[in-house]
Chain A
């Protein structure tokens, strides 16, 4: 009896699998989105994933895709776990994806070496490996609009401005509160180099990943040292905890600046009303007052085709997801123009990304005027080192409080070159770039 059930069940499953496989759509561009709507970091993963999916779906709804070709958007759940991310990568690889958005530094590091072999470009928007901004050694990896080193240099520049000039930094104490993992440690070499140049003292406050929600001892050290400014390279539950601890030791919120992954609405909100004045860098605007966001609401959210709760639309991370998809969509348009094909593949999109230029005029055309800094990617520079701005938490939402701040490129570039050389040196047999450079369109 039991055996019969088992056989029946197996047969049923097998037959439906066979029936379901050939159902993949013809005449479309496949865009997998690696998202993390579950797991410890879901708080940031949900708005990012929804933002990415909603913009691409909006293009499908409103324009029927890009250049007349529908976009086949599919999510793969990683839970921010490297193991599952790599599994997702293997799973989507066979369906000819045109681009991979890993959305985790760990996953990005794993799949960087595979990109050139599998001919699938990787778009890690302002995360992942900073060195991959070097297009010469990493022709398949793109990380616009800015690297973590750009972010840290913007912090120093901003502090310099507030203190009345970069020369006033001499003798000041700048603290770095960071997640003790590859992601968090990234800004250290740049800040050390800048500390030498400008004569400020750098204090490091590592937060072990397992202790993200238990930082009291660390903040005792902060209270002892009393750094003049603090930069935070944090993620997930670490951010609200740090803000709460800073409030406890009465650290002035207007001297405490998070990087762009420490500036979500759900990073500041849990810390309560006293978090008012907390600052963070961001390279995309918040709010729904942009025609592009209104279009998404009209075509996707209001029709119930989105995973998002309506009040989350327009939050920092949601809009960042939208920006990510704007870059993908513009790269697809560009690739269609260069290659002359409608249904492009990964190799075409690589060329499209490499000659991507989103001008201020183009942003306006898209309904995203001032939404992000105009960006330009070239063969040599896969990042662009674009500007970001500081926004302030007013207790309910983020407000832009500074101008667009450009990074200190001349300090960042040598580090990128060195890191890229080191990476290639450490990975014997790293392929030489064989892809020709396209003329910028």
Chain B
């Protein structure tokens, strides 16, 4: 069929180790990017962009962040929500201190604050692993959540304790605040997510990624072949938290438009962890699949149920949706414990050798 490698010769090493060795994959990616940038924003309505696609992209980025830490380096973290919060609050403080600087610079810069905090809480990772590390990061989660509530300086002493997003512009067009259209927000978020995914892809496929994976697979062996554990693990924490921070800032500035501390609670951390596990540990594509399944599927069920004419009360739909999504997650994990990314890979492999089964 269309998807096969017959006739594609690799004549140099660069072609052999490329991320997408097959031409079909490269074309597919180009088509997806073209659709995402040039078609989807023009044919989608405000609901689709604002309530489905922007959050999907934000959660994908957060899932990539956690995947770098948990999937690639094997360090379990339950502090994702808090690190996202650090990014959001840092971005808020920065843009209220220096309103004239472009907001996109602050969104990226807020990642560095999150990275610093993440590296700090990553320090115990040298001595503890697995569940013990999960508990240590859970402590980070609780401590930071406490800060978001109890340090009024973080939300500029706002009476309601929430952070509110002011209007900021790019080339004279508002991109945050109420006057920004879903169209511009979507394009900004998409651009940031695509660029950061590209960087993440280069990181995990390069020397640093190999170091992380070596540590994940067996840290003693990694140490023996000359990988210094502490810098490697801290780097994973820093990079992961950087991504978390940017995702958090995007969440508040481009999606919510304001947030209270409860947004960054432990449930948010679990939500992202589910995405990573369902999507596939150690896979960037899986991060997108996971975000789609966990976030978009419930919305699809909720919107479709009344649309197909089922006379159900919205609250009944809500209850049904919990059951269906729960059942689907279990189903997918039974069918393929390595997540949707693995299913995708198997599917592609089958296509490659089609019509022969092996």
- For A76, give its contact among B159, B258, B314 (CB under 8 Å): B314
Contact B304 A17 (CB under 8 A): yes
List chain B residues, Cβ under 8 A from A77.
302, 314-315, 317-318
Give 1 or 0 for each of A407-441: 1 = CB within 8 Å of chain B CB. 00000000000010011001111000000000000
How far, in whole Å, are A185 and B157 apart by their CA atoms in the complex? 12
List chain B residues, Cβ under 8 A from A131.
159
Closest Cβ of chain B to A201, distance in Å, is 22
- For B257, give its contact among A37, A113, A186, A426 (CB under 8 Å): A113
Give 1 or 0 for each of A125-155: 1 = CB within 8 Å of chain B CB. 0000111000000000000000000000000
List chain A residues, Cβ under 8 A from B356.
none
List chain B residues, Cβ under 8 A from A249.
none
Contact A186 B160 (CB under 8 A): yes
Contact B309 A109 (CB under 8 A): no
How far, in whole Å, are A35 and B309 apart by their CA atoms in the complex? 21
Closest Cβ of chain B to A350, distance in Å, is 16
Closest Cβ of chain B to A367, distance in Å, is 28
Give 1 or 0 for each of B133-151: 1 = CB within 8 Å of chain A CB. 0000000000000000100
How far, in whole Å, are A166 and B274 apart by their CA atoms in the complex? 56
How far, in whole Å, are A75 and B45 apart by their CA atoms in the complex? 21
With A77-B315, A209-B262, A419-B159: A91-B167 Cβ-Cβ less than 8 Å = no
A210 within 8 A of B: yes
Contact A79 B318 (CB under 8 A): yes
- For A428, give its contact among B99, B159, B265, B308 (CB under 8 Å): B99
With A82-B263, A113-B178, A186-B160: A90-B307 Cβ-Cβ less than 8 Å = no
> Which residues 260-292 in B have Cβ within 8 Å of A in the complex?
260-263, 265
Closest Cβ of chain B to A140, distance in Å, is 11
Contact A117 B178 (CB under 8 A): yes
Contact A210 B256 (CB under 8 A): no
How far, in whole Å, are A117 and B179 apart by their CA atoms in the complex? 6
A307 within 8 A of B: yes
Contact A86 B51 (CB under 8 A): yes
Contact B309 A181 (CB under 8 A): no
With A87-B51, A113-B178: A35-B315 Cβ-Cβ less than 8 Å = yes
B313 within 8 A of A: yes
Contact B166 A114 (CB under 8 A): no
List chain B residues, Cβ under 8 A from A97.
none
- For A90, give its contact among B46, B309, B319 (CB under 8 Å): B46
List chain B residues, Cβ under 8 A from A76.
314
Give 1 or 0 for each of A1-34: 1 = CB within 8 Å of chain B CB. 0000000000001001101110000000000000
Contact B258 A17 (CB under 8 A): no
Contact B178 A181 (CB under 8 A): no
Closest Cβ of chain A to B305, distance in Å, is 11
What total count of A-B pairs have CB within 8 Å?
Answer: 126
Q: Identify the closest chain A residue to B263 (Cβ).
A: A82
Q: How many residues of chain B have a CB within 8 Å of chain A?
A: 47
Contact B308 A20 (CB under 8 A): yes
B13 within 8 A of A: no
Closest Cβ of chain A to B232, distance in Å, is 34
B303 within 8 A of A: yes
How far, in whole Å, are A38 and B315 apart by their CA atoms in the complex? 6
A94 within 8 A of B: yes
Q: How many residues of chain A have a CB within 8 Å of chain B?
A: 49
B345 within 8 A of A: no
List chain A residues, Cβ under 8 A from B313.
37, 75, 307
Contact B164 A113 (CB under 8 A): yes
With A77-B315, A109-B160, A210-B265: A182-B260 Cβ-Cβ less than 8 Å = yes
Q: Identify the closest chain B residue to A423 (Cβ).
A: B164
List chain B residues, Cβ under 8 A from A75.
313-315
How far, in whole Å, are A37 and B96 apart by their CA atoms in the complex? 38
List chain A residues, Cβ under 8 A from B178.
113-114, 116-117
Contact A94 B318 (CB under 8 A): no
Give 1 or 0 for each of B79-112: 1 = CB within 8 Å of chain A CB. 0000000000000000010010000000000000
- For B160, give its contact among A86, A113, A114, A182 (CB under 8 Å): A182
Closest Cβ of chain B to A18, distance in Å, is 9
How far, in whole Å, are A75 and B315 apart by their CA atoms in the complex? 9
With A82-B256, A129-B160, A429-B167: A16-B47 Cβ-Cβ less than 8 Å = no
List chain B residues, Cβ under 8 A from A116.
178
A93 within 8 A of B: yes
A234 within 8 A of B: no
Closest Cβ of chain A to B238, distance in Å, is 28
List chain A residues, Cβ under 8 A from B265.
209-210
How far, in whole Å, are A116 and B177 apart by their CA atoms in the complex? 12
A47 within 8 A of B: no
How far, in whole Å, are A209 and B142 apart by their CA atoms in the complex? 12
Contact A113 B317 (CB under 8 A): no
Give 1 or 0 for each of B201-222: 1 = CB within 8 Å of chain A CB. 0000000000000000000000
Give 1 or 0 for each of A201-232: 1 = CB within 8 Å of chain B CB. 00000001110000000000000000000000
How far, in whole Å, are A328 and B196 apart by their CA atoms in the complex? 47
Contact A186 B159 (CB under 8 A): yes
Closest Cβ of chain B to A149, distance in Å, is 10
Give 1 or 0 for each of B40-56: 1 = CB within 8 Å of chain A CB. 00000111001100010
List chain A residues, Cβ under 8 A from B260.
82, 106, 109, 181-182
Contact B156 A428 (CB under 8 A): no
Contact A13 B158 (CB under 8 A): no
How far, in whole Å, are A110 and B96 apart by their CA atoms in the complex? 18
A266 within 8 A of B: no
List chain B residues, Cβ under 8 A from A129.
160
Contact A21 B307 (CB under 8 A): yes
With A17-B308, A82-B256, A210-B265: A185-B299 Cβ-Cβ less than 8 Å = no
List chain B residues, Cβ under 8 A from A423.
164
Give 1 or 0 for each of A157-175: 1 = CB within 8 Å of chain B CB. 0000000000000000000
How far, in whole Å, are A267 and B344 apart by their CA atoms in the complex? 50
- For A426, give its contact among B149, B156, B304 (CB under 8 Å): B156
List chain A residues, Cβ under 8 A from B47.
90-91, 93-94
How far, in whole Å, are A21 and B315 apart by their CA atoms in the complex? 21
List chain B residues, Cβ under 8 A from A21.
307
List chain B residues, Cβ under 8 A from A38.
315, 318-319
Q: Identify the closest chain A residue to B300 (Cβ).
A: A13
List chain B residues, Cβ under 8 A from A186.
159-160
A273 within 8 A of B: no
Q: Which B residues lie at the A interface, using CB under 8 A?
A: 45-47, 50-51, 55, 96, 99, 149, 156, 158-162, 164-167, 174, 177-179, 255-263, 265, 299, 302-304, 306-309, 313-315, 317-319
Ranked nearest first, the 4 interchain pairs of A and B with the lowest CB-CB distance are A113-B178, A37-B315, A429-B167, A90-B51
The 12 sampled A-B contact pairs (Cβ below 8 Å) are A16-B308, A83-B263, A87-B51, A114-B178, A114-B257, A181-B262, A189-B159, A209-B262, A210-B265, A427-B164, A427-B167, A428-B166
Q: Which A residues lie at the B interface, using CB under 8 A?
A: 13, 16-17, 19-21, 35, 37-38, 75-77, 79, 82-83, 86-87, 90-91, 93-94, 105-106, 109-110, 113-114, 116-117, 129-131, 180-182, 185-186, 189, 208-210, 307, 419, 422-423, 426-429
